Amino acid sequence: MKAEKKHSAENINFMVEILLPVKAYVALMAEGGNGSVQIDNLQVEKVEINIDNGVVTLKSITAAEVSAETKNGQLLFADVSGTIRGRTGNGQIRLSAERIDRWPINLSTGNGNILVYTARMPANATIDAQSGIGNIIIFASRSSRTGKWTDGNGENLILLRTGNGSIKVERR
């Protein structure tokens, strides 16, 4: 896990890197004010990150539940498996994964785009997207303000919300 903090008054930057031994963990929780958080290569039951201002980057995480929240800043999820919840007041949310149809996903931002990239088309999911101001593109199908897409039984809900921004879900 890495945490970075910048202090502009004294022009001081510092980064803290915490290396955890390889073993099974129950939970990883981090709270903070200003600064970015990056977590890589972790297997745990629950991840919960809550910061005021900064970028949250989660890569190669396997968990039952993953939650990241920031008032101001981007949320980046890459190869995260498990139930995913991401919220930011101001900032883009980006999720990229091999599959997005195995667990519920709930992503919301007040101001910012939501981008979801998957290697495989979902086989059993419902994508429910809403934007106050912005376009919605779900697998090349364009709509404005609301979009819904279901495949299979639609068992896993992918809920995407932005007040001011666009939403894009595409295969890569």
Q: Above 60 in pLDDT, residue 4? A: no
Least confident of 2-16, 79-93, 138-152: 2-16
Q: Beta 93-97 vs 36-53: how paired, if at all?
A: unpaired
CA dihedral 107, 96, 50, 6 (to 10 degrees): -130
What pTM did the predictor assign?
A: 0.89
State percent of the chain over pLDDT 70: 91
Query: Could you tell me the pLDDT band of residue 10, with boundaries at 50, 70 and 90?
Result: low
What's the pLDDT tens digit per position in 14-68?
667 777 777 777 999 999 899 899 999 999 999 999 999 999 999 999 999 999 9
Q: How far is CA 73 from the centre of its chain?
A: 11
pLDDT band of residue 157 (cuts 50, 70, 90) is very high
Question: Across the chain, where does the E strand assignment appear?
Answer: 2-7, 12-17, 25-34, 36-53, 56-72, 75-90, 93-97, 105-111, 114-118, 125-138, 141-151, 156-164, 167-171
Model pLDDT, residue 9: 57
> Cα–Cα distance between 102 and 115 in angstroms, integer?
18
Q: Share the mean pLDDT of the chain.
A: 90
Alpha-carbon span 155 to 158, nearest angstrom = 10
